[in-house]
Amino acid sequence: MSVKSDGWGSRVGLILAMAGNAVGLGNFLRFPVQAVQNGGGAFIIPYLVCFVVMGIPLLFIEWSSGRFGGRHGNHSTPYILDSMVKGRILKYIGVFGIFTNIAVAAYYCYIESWTMSYVYHSIVGTFNGMSQAEVAGFFNSYVDIGQSTTGIPYEAVVFYIVCLVLNTYILSKGLKGIEKVAKIGMPLLIFFGVLLAIRGLTLGTSGASEIFPNANAWDGLNFLWTPQYESLLDLKVWMAAAGQIFFTLSVGMGTIHCYAAYLEAKDDIALNAVSAGFMNEFVEVVLGSLIVIPIAAGYLGLDWVLENAGFGMAFQTMPYLFQQWGDVLSILAGVFWFGLLFFAGITSSLAMGTPWIGFMRDEFNWNQTKGAWSFGAMILILGMPTVIFFQEGVFDEYDYWAGTVSLVVFAMMETILFSWVFGMKKGWREITSGADIKVPNVYKYIIKYVTPIMLIVIFLGSLFKPLDNDWSGNFSSLFSGNGWSLDNGSIIKTVTHAGIKQQLAAATDVATQTALNDKMFYINIARFLLLGLFIFISVLVYVAFQKRRREGRATE
């Protein structure tokens, strides 16, 4: 039997923990970049549609599956699925729900550790008086761990380990620890975010630097919030919008199932799911769009933002822009901004630890401490390559397979299982039982038909992504008998390194060839580790199954 199960202290604690799970680095680092790269106002409508017909249904599915599994003593997706559908095989789909968390945590905690370091550097005034190029250079030397010129030897490694130890320690305290962090972190995050957003809203042209006299913060907001309807026909924008919805809501991961498995059978899930989901959307759509983009547009101009939109903006540009507000305010702004990112990050990375711990506890009677430290050890092993070989692409490879592809694959399979194998009749009963709101009946049909079809389309679309992401062009080519050309970014071509091989073929000098070959080598190491992890967890699920059979607990 499993060790006495943990439980949530209060409803507020549960909602804050679930919101903390969802609200993460994705809201502040990923969303603005996705929005800008996909045409600003062109992105928002597909994004909101995906939230309503895919995000909310997946929240309902995952919350109710989790509570259902918890009722049968299961707290991680392999055996949550096993309690829902019969058969020996289907539980292995749940391997994704442990695998993804460990793999994502390995690189996610690395970014989280940057935010800790940047809080420190903001306080001690490292960025004071630096030029824009110097602030950007600081980041580059930070991630190039060997030639550390940041003041602390091997600083990136040091902060990464500190970050892992902190996560592990909190996880060892169980749900109570997570709840406590969420209760402190979420209000602070919103407070910091609102202050920075007010700054973004009020910057206008007044803050514009002498260097860019025409820069205007409002240009950034108008770009994001002027809807453009033409994009509705562009599948590329839809794919990006769907990908963002997955990542930001933490669906397709297994964390929501796990948190929900600690609910009581009679607890509400409908209102809870919607509340946590909307809290994430508020933080993303309102706070996430009112900080980086308007502030950067206010100083450097919208054109600069469009050209430089990327992950680096938060670390390479913001500390420089904050300096324009004077010494004291720049320190505060730095602490608010990186502190906000830190709380966003840690409440999510803690969530990623729970499925593994729940699994080991249910199946092998491990206690919380052992579960937590083994999780820390695994992400240390998997994460060190992302730290050491950050520039060689290991980080991106993890993000591609674990943070992008796996989410879609798992979400697609669990939705089909829920709506068609478990069945919508039982499914709807699970969603509505104990519900504190009336779930609109249309959701019965959305979950049964619309969500699975959308997920299948998205999956096939990324498998066979067309050349240059040009959907209409490739469809007309297909229908006129000229076939479908795959993009190097399609899953099929990525697997075979088609993109790198093409670059290799075009490379003329030895240095470039060596660099590309090295890159391929490091990417293969990343794949080897990820595959190893996947197999390892599958084996554990198998061993657990044998153990259950011996103990007469297996449901066959």
Q: Within 10 A of 515 (CB to CB), how many other CB atoms are there?
A: 15
Chain residues 214-273 in contact with Na ion, contact rule CB under 5 A: 248
The residue with its CB nearest to ligand PHE is: 24
CA distances from 163 to 86, 109, 159, 167 (A): 40, 7, 6, 6
Asked if 185 is part of the footprint of Na ion (rule: CB under 5 A), the reply reads: no
Kindly tell me which of 48 and 143 has the beta carbon lying closer to Na ion: 48
Asked if 22 is part of the footprint of Na ion (rule: CB under 5 A), the reply reads: yes
DSSP 8-state code for residue 435: -
Kindly tell me which of 256 and 405 has the beta carbon lying closer to Na ion: 256
Q: Residue 352 Cβ, how far from ligand PHE at the closest point, in Å?
A: 5
Contact indicator for 150, 137 with CB cutoff of 8 Å: no
Which tokens is 444 given? 């019965």
Contact indicator for 462, 490 with CB cutoff of 8 Å: yes
Which tokens is 84 given? 């829902």
Count of alpha carbons within 13 angstroms of residue 423, beta-carbon side: 5
Q: Residue 81 Cβ, how far from ligand PHE at the closest point, in Å?
A: 18
Kindly tell me which of 101 and 248 has the beta carbon lying closer to Na ion: 248
Asked if 345 is part of the footprint of Na ion (rule: CB under 5 A), the reply reads: no
Kindly tell me which of 21 and 122 has the beta carbon lying closer to ligand PHE: 21
The whole-angstrom separation of Cα 80 and Cα 67 is 9
Classify residue 324 by burial, with Cβ atoms within 10 Å: 0-12, 13-18, 19+. middle
Kindly tell me which of 248 and 386 has the beta carbon lying closer to Na ion: 248
- DSSP E strands in 312-454: the ranges are none
Kindly tell me which of 260 and 516 has the beta carbon lying closer to ligand PHE: 260
* Residue 256 binds which of Na ion, ligand PHE, none (CB < 5-8 A, kind-dependent): none
Asked if 432 is part of the footprint of Na ion (rule: CB under 5 A), the reply reads: no
Q: Which of 403, 414, 483, 530 is nearest to 65 (CA)?
A: 414
* Nearby residues of 297 by Cβ (< 8 Å), 6 or more positions away: 215, 216, 217, 218, 219, 220, 223, 304, 305
Q: How many helices (H) and strands (E) does the chain have?
A: 30, 0
Classify residue 210 by burial, with Cβ atoms within 10 Å: 0-12, 13-18, 19+. exposed
The residue with its CB nearest to Na ion is: 248
* Residue 432 binds which of Na ion, ligand PHE, none (CB < 5-8 A, kind-dependent): none
Q: Which stretches of the chain bind ligand PHE, using CB under 6 A? A: 21-22, 24-27, 104, 247-248, 250, 253, 255, 348, 351-352
Contact indicator for 283, 21 with CB cutoff of 8 Å: no
Asked if 526 is part of the footprint of Na ion (rule: CB under 5 A), the reply reads: no
Residue choice 18, 20, 21, 27 for contact with Na ion (CB under 5 A)? 27
* Residue 316 binds which of Na ion, ligand PHE, none (CB < 5-8 A, kind-dependent): none
Kindly tell me which of 348 and 474 has the beta carbon lying closer to Na ion: 348
Chain residues 42-61 in contact with Na ion, contact rule CB under 5 A: none
Q: Residue 249 Cβ, how far from ligand PHE at the closest point, in Å?
A: 6
Kindly state the number of chain residues that form the binding site for Na ion, as judged by CB under 5 A: 6
The whole-angstrom separation of Cα 538 and Cα 546 is 13
Q: Mark 482-521 with x for binding to Na ion (rule: CB under 5 A) and - for no binding.
A: ----------------------------------------
Q: Mark 301-320 with x for binding to Na ion (rule: CB under 5 A) and - for no binding.
A: --------------------
Kindly tell me which of 161 and 249 has the beta carbon lying closer to ligand PHE: 249
Asked if 455 is part of the footprint of Na ion (rule: CB under 5 A), the reply reads: no
DSSP 8-state code for residue 205: T
Residue choice 26, 94, 277, 466 for contact with Na ion (CB under 5 A)? 26
Contact indicator for 419, 447 with CB cutoff of 8 Å: yes
Q: Residue 253 Cβ, how far from ligand PHE at the closest point, in Å?
A: 4
Element (H, E) at 323: none
The whole-angstrom separation of Cα 59 and Cα 270 is 9
Kindly tell me which of 26 and 66 has the beta carbon lying closer to Na ion: 26
Q: Which residues bind Na ion (CB under 5 A)?
A: 22, 24, 26-27, 248, 280
